[in-house]
Amino acid sequence: MQRNPSSHKGENGKVAVIGGSLHQHGAPLFSALAAEASGVDLIYVCNPLLHHEAAMEQSLNFQVYCFQGNDLSKNDINGILELLATMDSAVIGPGLARTKESLEATINIVSEASCPLVCDATALQPETWKLAQGKTIVLTPHLGELERMGIDQKNLPKLTQGSSITVLVKSETDTVYANGNMQEIKGGNAGLTVGGTGDALAGLIAGLVAQGRAPFDACIMASTIIKRAGSLLSQEFGYSYTTRNVITKIPHLLTTLS
Closest CA to 105 of 206, 30, 18: 18
Task: Give the Cα separation of 122 and 107 in Å (integer).
Answer: 9
CA 111 to chain CA centroid, nearest Å: 17
Of 39, 82, 79, give the one whose Cα is nearest residue 61. Answer: 39
pLDDT digits (tens, 9 = 90+) for 68-79: 999 999 999 999
Nearest to 34 by CA among 106, 83, 91, 86: 91
Cα 11 → chain centroid: 20
- Mean pLDDT for 54-60 is 96
For residue 24, report the phi and psi dihedrals to the nearest 5 degrees: -135, 105
* Each residue's pLDDT tens digit, 188-216: 999 999 999 999 999 999 999 999 999 99
Q: Is the pLDDT of residue 146 over 90?
A: yes
Instruction: Please give the Cα distance from 159 to 179 (Å, whole number).
Output: 8
Which fold does the domain 14-151+189-253 belong to in CATH? UDP-N-acetylmuramoyl-L-alanine:D-glutamate ligase (3.40.1190)
pLDDT, tens digit, 9 for 90 and up, residues 230-249: 999 999 999 999 999 999 99
pLDDT score of 113 = 98
Q: What is the dihedral of CA 243, 245, 247, 248, to 10 degrees?
A: 170
Residue 10 has pLDDT above 90, yes or no: no
Tell me: pLDDT of 180 over 90: no
* pTM of the model as a whole: 0.97
